[in-house]
Chain A
Amino acid sequence: MDILLTEDQRLLQDSTRRFLEKRSPVSAARRLVSSQAALDREAWREGAELGWLSLFAPEAYGGLAESAEGAVDAAIIAEELGRVVFAGPFLPVSVVAFALAEAGSPAQQEAHLAELAAGEKIAAWCFPAEAEAGAVTTQPAEGGFVLEGSVFAVQDAELADLLLVTAADGRELSQFLVSKDTPGISVTPLVTLDIARRLAEVRFDGVRIGADALVGVAEGAADLVERQLQLALVLQAAETVGVIDRALEFTLDYAKQRVAFGRAIGSFQAIKHRFADHAVRLEGAKAATAYAAKAVQARAADAGAAASIAKSHTARHGVDIIRDCLQIHGGIGMTWDHDIHFYLRRAVSNEALWGTPAAHHDRLSRLAGL
């Protein structure tokens, strides 16, 4: 995260790290995978007690929005979650809480924000995986709307009680908050490369919803959706930073201990210079992500560009660095029992979700007026 943290931010970082090392290390993700369980609910609620999910909800709903620096603080937590390849729905719950706090109706806020903050309710953010809104369509219907279509690769949709759906009516975007058990909604779990992350396909077959499901203004959600995407990209980039940071740490330890030809392998320039290069790129990832978090939090004019820049850099170099960390481990890195594949799976998954680096390069061209 940012090179200079406030006292509060350092506390948040330390308490999150200590909690995760104790309650949810990589071995916990491993256990979830082998038991095919979805989430350690108890650990999730304890995380909520630490304030993870309260950053965007106002105090009236048990949140900390007034005193927290939403996107910046959430990015600090996301980075820590990345270090242990955490399996839970931090990102979607944060983005949906952010959306509701910003544009939800009083009834929606009243009904959901406190329970989201307490970790008792889970929400999924149904945003098209390719970062282009509009895979779900909406038509006005008597007393509300009808949703049709599907969204591929929605994080933690199986766990969710609520879905925040972005739908297009012609060219305009609207957003709806719907209960997952609404008739016509089906959630199909997908087989995921990142085995510590659950993704699902969510289908909407003639789903009829009331007008009270609308978040913000009908056909006027484009700016809301953009800001949610920015926050999602910042949290994803921060998570990737944590993933790289930790993988590089244990790979460095290994290179200092593993001896070949009478020397620690980290003393060979063929290895040492690669580590130096990785450290440089990791520093860039931290700098770009910290800036993007602040820009998104401040609603700066360059927040959209900053989020895409952080995404492109962290995704591209994150995968590259961790692939090389695996290489430096040699044969042991190819085994199921070594943790590094969890890190690499998460990095590769984050690279593809919500726009590949190339998609964001195109987006940057658009933002520059090309």
Chain B
Amino acid sequence: MLRLVTVADAPLDRRMPPDFTGRPTPERAAEEHVRALQAIALHGDRQAFARLFRFFAPRVRAYLMRLGSDDAAAEDLMQDVMLTVWRRAPTYDPALAGVSTWVFTIARNRRIDALRRVRQPPLDVDEPALVPAAPPLPDSAVAALQWEAKIATAIATLPPEQAQMLKLAYFDDRSHSDIAETLKLPLGTVKSRLRLAIGRLRSVFQPEESP
């Protein structure tokens, strides 16, 4: 069974089918990102950071511009996000989230800090006061990586109208009633499509069988 340490240590070919195209599969890219963050955390590996930068900087910038940042603001904020990735690398826990998810939450929070001047009350996952969840499964470090892939698949297979609603919710910074108005849909329709989409995504996380 793969554990967190072995994600970094095990030879690639034991875990992944050979990739004859030479292009990284999404799964392999996700594992590379974990290794890069661990290399940053362990020995301040700048080359590992550069690799993460090349993948995430253009996407973070695209995210910020989708949400209405102008060119200069998107650049500043993107650099800020990537700097935060470097600084917070030691706090990254692959058992809790994939790297894309982690970077997304940093970008989301920095954007709120910078543009709205309000705080996003953080969920501090290191906090001992958290009511603990059930003990994680032994291979949860791998599971978190797989979630991202499964969630991506779930989003790709959503009915188009639900996928559209979800993207608007994440990328357009508008309230549900604004979305309804723009799309000329009743608010109830917007809400029910979102609810259906959320249900589909959450079902990815449900265990196969309940005891």
Are both chains from one complex? no
